[in-house]
Amino acid sequence: AQKVTQAQTEISVVEKEDVTLDCVYETRDTTYYLFWYKQPPSGELVFLIRRNSFDEQNEISGRYSWNFQKSTSSFNFTITASQVVDSAVYFCALSGGNAGNMLTFGGGTRLMVKP
Amino acid sequence: EAGVTQFPSHSVIEKGQTVTLRCDPISGHDNLYWYRRVMGKEIKFLLHFVKESKQDESGMPNNRFLAERTGGTYSTLKVQPAELEDSGVYFCASSRYSATGELFFGEGSRLTVL
């Protein structure tokens, strides 16, 4: 069985602070994919990133960066110099290599960035 | 390019009534998925269409839920009869490829069963 845990249900920061959203996963698959999605107030889930289990390189995209560590089964997401527009619910998700796009989601972390 | 659209955005019905949710995927996306989030729980997979065929419906909770995708275009998800525990947000997503490609989600349809 697959499981994704986002222990932080809610985080509040002040604008320009850095913030890290934690994600820990469980899977028996040797090949799997990890995702982060953002859910702004409008409701849709916006794709942010996908990583496969064979690629442990960290990735940076502007103010966003992701740290994938297989040794600790974690795929953490850091926002540098947070902005009010970053306020949203962020979901970490996992899919097995043979499961197509059947995603297992974590419970989400609500991030509030205050001006 | 239009995104995934869902209708209605919010539906309030009484227990025992029927509700039909609609999803229009992105044009050209053969893969269509339904997910839902009930109050306080994670977003859960319901089913996956490839064109008009059900590829995986392992997440459908029971036979009160019926999903169709006639002609391989838009999809409907009917709940009949609705129960209180069906309340939640129903998300539709589409993708061009099924092999763990990027999913494009709609804004969701919020269902409230009273």
B11 vs A102: CA distance, rounded Å: 26
pLDDT digits (tens, 9 = 90+) for B31-43: 999 999 998 789 9
Interface contact flag, B102 A107, Cβ < 8 Å: no
Interface contact flag, B3 A106, Cβ < 8 Å: no
pLDDT in tens, chain A (115 residues): 789 999 999 999 999 999 999 999 999 988 899 999 999 988 889 999 988 898 888 888 899 999 999 999 999 999 999 999 999 999 999 988 666 668 999 999 999 999 9
- Residue B95: list chain A partners with CB under 8 A: 101
Residue that has been written with the tokens 């997401």 in this structure:
A77
A18 vs A33: CA distance, rounded Å: 26
DSSP assignment of B88-111, as one string?
A: EEEEEEEES-SSS---EE---EEE
Q: How far is B42 from chain A (nearest CA, A)?
A: 5
Q: B31-41 in b/e burial notation, b at 16+ Cβ within 10 A? A: bbbbbbbbeee
Interface contact flag, B107 A107, Cβ < 8 Å: no
B49 contact A CB<8A: no
pLDDT digits (tens, 9 = 90+) for B40-77: 789 999 999 999 999 999 999 999 999 999 888 999 99
Query: What are the structure tokens assigned to A55, written together?
Result: 């690629």
- Residue A33: list chain B partners with CB under 8 A: 100
Q: How far is A44 from chain B (nearest CA, A)?
A: 4
B56 vs B49: CA distance, rounded Å: 7
